[in-house]
Amino acid sequence: MCEITASGSLNGHDLKDLPVLNPGDWFGKTWLIEIGGSYCPLFLVVEADSITDAIDELADNKKYGHNIIVDDTDLGDYPEEERHYSGSGKVLDLDHLMIHGQERVECPFPCLYHGKGLSAEGMKPTDFWRRDETPSEDGNGLPEDGVTPTEATERN
């Protein structure tokens, strides 16, 4: 699969070219993760069922997981009774982690996916996971009539 990025808005600020972890693997349910909270935080979009699952996806990610995983040499700084663990048993430092999104909705953090084979305007994550894996003639991954599954449902 090609690299998928996302764009969206947070508190009136446009966010672009955000890396997406787990695209198409959880029904388009996206969360915005902010790591750092400083002048230049790292923003990632993670597709997962819940906030906890989004943290687990991040912790297990080879490229970005190191941002929240506690190195074995630093475990002494984290008393056992105060530790947070990922689903795979890794000790996590969640002090500088924020997750944005509304629970109990189809798409907690509304955004658009961008990447090779998607339209220039982008594609909703909820449509991305439903797309036909065989690109249509125009290469946007949508059915030949260009109607997304969501639009087809809304029309009926």
Q: Percent of the chain beyond pLDDT 70?
A: 82
Helix, strand, coil tally for the chain in percent (to 5) = 20, 25, 55
* Lowest model confidence (mean pLDDT) among 10-19, 30-39, 55-64: 30-39
Which tokens in the block code for residue 19? 């890396």
- Cβ-contact 105, 27 below 8 angstroms: no
Write down the pLDDT at residue 39: 79
Mean pLDDT of the chain: 86
Q: What is the DSSP letter of 42?
A: E
Asked if residue 47 has pLDDT above 60, the reply is yes
Residue 86 confidence (pLDDT): 94
**pTM confidence score:** 0.80
In this structure, which amino acid lies at residue 12? G
Distance CA 42, CA 38 (A): 9
Residue of 11, 15, 86, 89 whose CA lies nearest to 54? 86
